A and B are shown apart, each in its own frame.
Chain A
């Protein structure tokens, strides 16, 4: 057991200290990521450099399920400095550059707190698919589960019947 990288299968690169950064999602789940991976976000990198990262960086606008997806992406690209043109992932920038939609294959993932500078790619205004998207990936069709009871729907339709006339 290596006490530096805290694993049983230390690959001997323990000579360099892998600094871990904690990111805390809105539902208070802590995600430990390497500083290298976390620094792909310019915002987080700034916070690290300013010394604000001690104790964890709170991301109050991001749920744990969303953060997990983004970190998966970041971990994958931490090792590479140039974007992988053949990557099957798509990064879609939404209006105002406030949202990143992650890999289309797994369904879009939205992140608000982290600006769209992960892995050096800048997200454009408006929606567009980044180059290198897998041509076979489906266009995201948003299927939303209708969790209403029939009587609740009926109530809404009745209250505003005029809006539901064809």
Chain B
């Protein structure tokens, strides 16, 4: 009689990877401690594509599109696979769950443009055609994509109320306040654009520097009047969520804020509204009501050795709140005008400098979690 074989040892590698591909990222890390075989399986780069991913880093303009790795080591290809579109550059607009949304101008007519939806991990992209010229009326576009729900993506292009006759070159002639009239929504499933009039009960002004979050079919975007405006991909549900307020809040207008999805919940990072000297992290426990909870506060002195900072302007820009853990990534402009990508761990209080991004980078960072599935962006025809 031979020794009874251990059942789990009999599972082949690919079946074990298949099982592990379904656990949350945090659980995957814990699984690394089970046995050496499991550790090696998880660390094996051949399996990386199938296993849960986490924040890899940030794309930004400097002025070409660059990538900063979140751990400060190595980097992904810098979108070199994209063809140089007849000499014209591309603008990085947004990113969502592993895909990037870019605007690419056509050489022949500098106002004509296309949207590109790119998957850097698979090096594939698709063009989303638009039939209108660029103007500041359509400068706000965001990407909606959630692979767990659907392999299709949406592009939401907000139609802004700038009444200029020309294309925004003469700001003095601009009428209107630039508030949202409606949104044109593109679905990669239908290949069609459809227009939906704004259903927000107040005028909402957006700014392309303000960030947004897409989850469960709804785009949440920060608006200028200290609210978060939300709209779903069908253009049917429109909501406004007020920024949180402390009881003894002293500031009538909080800073611009930054929202991100962390551990499944919507978080807001902003300078605190009592002294203005701290970074405050709020969390919305339930997205369907508006009850914010103050999760964490840390002084700017602890983070960057300054009593206060210009939050959201180039001095202190939040880049991400980590999707799986209590960590904030931000870019701080130091005395020599260098942009330092840094991280702050809410649990341990540790502050790390990850990378010096130099002086030429634009203050708009797109966080990136790789997505290796080829189902959504099949590539240029």
Residues on A facing B (Cβ under 8 Å): 61, 65-66, 69, 94-96, 98-99, 101, 106-110, 112, 140, 142-148, 152-153, 156-157, 160-165
Contact = CB atoms under 8 A, between A and B. Distances in A.
Contacts of B18: 95-96
B228 to A, nearest CB: 27
A143 B35 CA distance: 11
B336 interface: no
A138 to B, nearest CB: 11
Interface centre among A61, A152, A161, A163 (most CB of B within 10 A): A163
Interface residues of B, number: 29
A89 B57 CA distance: 51
A61 B12 contact: yes
Contact of B33 (A107, A112, A143, A157): A157
20 contacts: A99-B11, A99-B15, A107-B7, A108-B7, A108-B10, A109-B5, A109-B7, A110-B11, A110-B15, A112-B14, A142-B8, A143-B6, A146-B33, A146-B34, A152-B36, A153-B33, A157-B33, A162-B347, A163-B29, A163-B325
Given A110-B12, A162-B325, A148 B33 contact: yes
A107 B15 contact: no
B12 A107 contact: no
B29 A160 contact: yes
B39 interface: yes
Contact of A144 (B6, B325, B326): B6
Contact of A140 (B7, B12, B36): B7
Contact of A106 (B4, B15, B26, B326): B4
Interface in B328-360: 345, 347-348
Interface in B18-32: 18, 26, 29-30, 32
A34 B327 CA distance: 62
A110 to B, nearest CB: 5
A162 B34 contact: no
